[in-house]
Amino acid sequence: MESTLTPPRQKRNIAIWFFGALGGILWGYDTGVISGALLFIHQDIPMTPLIEGFVVSGLLLGAMIGAGASGKLSDRLGRKKLILGGAIIFIIGTIGAALAVNAPMLIAFRLVIGIGVGIVSVVVPMYLSELAPKHIRGGLSSLMQLMVTTGIFIAGVTDLALTEVGGWRWMIGLGVIPAIILFFGLMTQPESPRWLLGSHRHDQEALATLVNLRGNDQAAQDEMAEIQQSIRKEEENKQPLRLTDLVTPRLRPLLVVGILLVFFQNFGGINTIIYYAPTLLTNIGFTSQGAILANVAITLVNLLMTLPAIRLIDRVGRRPLLIGGAIGMCFGMLLLGVTTVAGLTSGTGAVVVTLIGVTIFIASFAISWGPVQWVLLPELFPQRIRAGAMSICTTLNWLFNLTVAVLFPTLLAQFGAGPNFLFFALTTFLAFLFAWKLLPETKGRSLEEIEQELVFQDDSVSAGSAEASR
């Protein structure tokens, strides 16, 4: 007998999506807050430019470690337990960084925070994707990126509020609040039904979770049957999928797509804006307070432009958003690069052009490459190796992020802002070509349907490319 979706079930679903994506606030806050805190940390802890780079990149190195370990751990422990573990790591790292008395201690605890960020960046998108119904999976999975941008915005507002007193310890330490909310909130939420079924120990729990999620007994049973059929088909395969199969001709194209997706997201220039916007703005005449205020406006644009992406990703599709976003990002970086190379680096004109270029770039990124990456990555890979493949791609994501964060200050000092902006314009143009030529479209299909098309058909890759070209 079918049942309708009652208000209590709707409330439970909202709680699942909210607490599931809350890790994104932690991720966004801890990566964004450092841009303002760097202006004041040196008052208590002497730092050279190199040490500043280590303070920023310590989190990114930790994120690589956390992401690299998350694949096997999430398959062994489950998605929910690992996110809870990430929340505990966040709490320990945040308190330690806020109380740091020297640079090594600050860097070490920033690395601990990064481990939590790495865990969240792998497991939360996978958790949301595996719980979401296929017709709105993109929008619900995009909640992760919305939470990330919300965290970055909150970090900017916090930096601004504490600027006059230079309260960098409070800037960092307040990140413990969402970590505590995440831990206690997620304890009340279900485990991924796909992980439960894949473990072959929790079929009844998986069915109960699907009934609560879908509000319809028959729909839940049908989805459970589809998941079980996919798992059974994989296990009956004479050559069951292993993570090492990602380098075989059958799965290598999917791995290449995943790697290029995270490469272009990071080397498009977004990290230079998130980490170093206040520094760039002070270089063209902003005061510290003015730079942080402008940075708050930039983070607000980042947040607001993520909202239409949540609606568009399941209507327009993943691929068109990435194509359009790359064009806008390229234009923004070209505007910044050309005007800077032409010598417009100070005065009112420089301020206006810089803010326009950064706003165009941020808006284009927020509606496309920001959310779409975290929706598309878990859709690309089959259930049996999804966690491991996500771990590989996300570890590379943080490696690319780390590379940009470490190299940009040196390249900025060596060549100036203009050539760097033009380099990012080139990479965003290449990102446009990648999205146009190579990317498959996955909207409106279940994870099992995507797996069937991209993995188990002999012409899987050509089928995905054909679909993308339509």
Per-residue pLDDT of the chain (470 residues; tens, 9 = 90+): 344 444 455 556 677 777 767 788 888 888 888 877 887 898 899 887 778 778 888 888 998 899 888 878 888 888 889 999 999 999 999 999 999 999 999 999 999 999 998 898 888 878 877 877 766 666 666 777 788 888 888 888 888 888 888 889 999 999 999 899 889 988 888 888 888 888 766 678 888 888 877 777 888 888 888 888 877 776 666 555 566 767 777 778 888 889 999 999 989 888 777 767 776 777 666 777 777 788 788 888 988 998 888 888 888 888 999 999 999 999 999 998 888 787 766 667 777 888 888 899 999 999 999 888 888 888 888 877 787 888 888 889 888 988 887 777 777 777 777 788 899 999 999 999 999 988 888 777 766 677 777 665 544 434 344 444 44
CA gap 345, 151 in Å, rounded: 31
> CA of 27: how far to CAs of 103, 124, 349, in Å?
22, 11, 34
Quote the DSSP letter at residue 244: G
Where are any strands of DSSP class E within 204-326?
Answer: none
Contact 31, 228 (CB under 8 A): no
Provide the sign of the torsion angle of the four alpha carbons 189, 192, 197, 199, taken in this order.
negative
Only one residue has tokens 């992980």, namely: 195
The predicted structure's pLDDT at residue 329: 95
pTM: 0.72
Distance (Å, whole) CA 41 – CA 73: 35
Return the axis-axis angle of helices 318-341 and 347-366, rounded to nearest 10°.
170
DSSP class per residue in 188-212:
TSPPPHHHHHHTTS-HHHHHHHHHH
Q: Tell me the residue type at 127.
A: Y
Q: How many CA atoms lie within 13 A of 188 on its CB side?
A: 13
pLDDT of residue 240: 58
- Residue 162: what are its φ and ψ, rounded to 5°? -105, 10
Instruction: Look at residue 464 in the predicted model and tell me its pLDDT.
Output: 41
Rounded CA gap, 411 and 447, in Å? Answer: 42
Identity at 168, one-letter amino acid code: W
Q: Tokens 């349907």 — which residue?
A: 449
Contact 36, 159 (CB under 8 A): yes
Residue 237: strand, helix, or coil: coil
CB within 8 Å of 106: residues ≥ 6 apart: 41, 45, 55, 58, 97, 100
Please name each of the domains of the chain with its CATH number: 7-200+227-469 (1.20.1250.20)
C-alpha pair distances (Å), 230 with each of 11, 119, 132, 227, 251: 30, 26, 17, 5, 17
Which pLDDT score, from 0 to 100, does residue 345 have? 60
| pLDDT attached to residue 7 | 47
